[in-house]
Amino acid sequence: MADSINATPESLAEQVKNAHYNQSPLQIMGSGSKSFYGRNITAIPLSVAAYSGVINYEPSELVITARAGTPLREIENLLDEQGQMLGFEPPSFTDTATLGGTIACGISGPRRPYAGAARDFVLGVTIINGKGEILKFGGQVIKNVAGYDVSRLMTGAQGSLGILLDISLKVIPKPAYEATRVLPYSHQQMNTLLSDIGRKPVPVSATLLHNNSLYIRLSGAKAGVQAAASAIGGDTLQNADPFWQQLKEQQQPFFNQQRPLWRVSLPPAAAVIPGDLVEEESFIEWGGAQRWVYSHNGKKLQEWAIKNGGHASCFRDAKRDPSLSHSADETVFSPLSPALFALSKRIKDSFDPAHILNPNRLYTGL
């Protein structure tokens, strides 16, 4: 129900107030392009999609402010015209993805380890909390330490702490030049190489290891990129832009499988995931820090990930994983320690005392 009448902050806040009063849970909707992500919930849909449009963009400020319903594509096109981009290179998965959904899900693309994650670029937000109050935190400046950093807390909270209205993001200039090298490397060889060049000022901006091929994208001034490319060796990948674009949007055949796809987040140099936990070789991004695998052994995979300093989440198709079906979806995201869960619940209470905003989407009770 994305008609314009529902799309002023006041009218949205009014609906939240009513829901708070009636203790009736809401499912916050952008375009629905990432509805596969997170746990299934049943609640009354509240669409923010019509609350759309860029509010302010001045390229020399390196900041853009837009409404949550603004299509991500619209923002990317606008930035592109000025030679700028979103540094965290977010995937959209469909043409309709909104800025609000992108920030609420906090998913970042290939450039993340080198430029920063979605949360690193969020400068300020206006939100509606679970009591229907319109609140503003942060701002449009790069440095801002007045009060707690609520804007970054909202990033990745999947709407469970507040409905995003306006979002200010830091943007970056597009690199002048890019080149991608391909090397016939194993996981171990990748670790050795990346550990070495990580301590040198090599302008890496993305990596992928798949099928024993290591792809390294370099970005920056032409001369610097060329010097780094020849130092790394390997071959030049032709048509690199569509390659990274497809990777970011998960359009390669690897992602097109009807099985539970897991995202494993690890320290980059963490060990190779044991073969009994995954069904086939993985898609390894972020210099080893983000690994995509298919697994029917989700619980064990999560335990292994935690033991190795990270966490694992069932990114798509949680319902198809038999190991999950008995546990009420609880294992979509890695379980939190009891102390952290209790703290997270108190934080949820502080923003949304009646638990009406996307309740249980992250974890039961949040």
Partner 1 sequence: MNSNIAASIRTQRLASLIPMLSKMIPEHAILSEPEQLKAYECDAFTTMRQMPLLTVLPDTIEQVQHVMRCCHALDIPVVARGAGTGLTAGAMPVENGVLLGMSKFNKIHAIDLHNRTAWIDPGVRNQAVSDAVAPYNLYFAPDPSSQLACSVGGNVAENAGGVHCLKYGLTVHNILELEIVSIEGERMTLGGPALDAAGYDLMAIMTGSEGLLGIVVGIRVKLLAKPASARVLLAAFSTIEDAGNAIAKIIGAGIIPAGLEMIDQTGIQAIEALMHAGYPVHAAAVIICELDGSVEEVEDELSSVIAILNSLNASDIQVSTNETESKRIWAARKAAFPALASLAPDNYVMDGTIPRRALAEVWTKINRLSDEYQLLVVNVFHAGDGNMHPSILFDSSDENQYQRANELATRILELCIQVGGTISGEHGIGLEKINQMCLQFSDAEINQFHALKHAFDEKRLLNPGKQIPTLARCAEFNAMHIHRGEMPFPHLERF
> Are 171 and 82 spatial neighbours (Cβ–Cβ below 8 Å)?
no
Burial pattern 199-227, b for ≥16 Cβ within 10 A else e, equals: eeebbbbbbbbbeeebbbbbbbeeebbee
Residue partners of 54: CB distance under 8 A and separation at least 6: 64, 65, 66, 67, 70, 74, 75, 78
Q: List binders of partner 1 among 262-301 (CB under 8 A).
A: 265-270, 286, 289-290
- The residue (of 58 and 95) whose beta carbon lies closer to partner 1 is 58
Which position among 143, 211, 256, 275 is part of the footprint of partner 1 (CB under 8 A)? 143
- The residue (of 2 and 269) whose beta carbon lies closer to partner 1 is 269
- The residue (of 45 and 267) whose beta carbon lies closer to partner 1 is 267
Which position among 9, 43, 59, 245 is part of the footprint of partner 1 (CB under 8 A)? 59
Dist CA 294 CA 260 (whole Å): 6
Which position among 153, 232, 237, 354 is part of the footprint of partner 1 (CB under 8 A)? 153
Q: Which two tokens stand for residue 253?
A: 């055949």
- Rounded to a whole number of angstroms, the minimum distance from the CB of residue 57 to partner 1 is 12
C-alpha distances out from residue 124 to 18, 69, 150, Å: 26, 16, 8
Which position among 30, 91, 110, 156 is part of the footprint of partner 1 (CB under 8 A)? 156
- Rounded to a whole number of angstroms, the minimum distance from the CB of residue 146 to partner 1 is 5
Interaction of residue 136 with partner 1, rule CB under 8 A: yes
Q: List binders of partner 1 among 161-220 (CB under 8 A).
A: 161, 172-174, 176, 191, 195, 198-203, 220
Site for partner 1 (CB under 8 A): how many residues?
89
Q: List binders of partner 1 among 323-342 (CB under 8 A).
A: 333-337, 339-341
- The residue (of 71 and 130) whose beta carbon lies closer to partner 1 is 130
Chain centroid to CA 336: how far?
Answer: 19
Dist CA 313 CA 26 (whole Å): 24
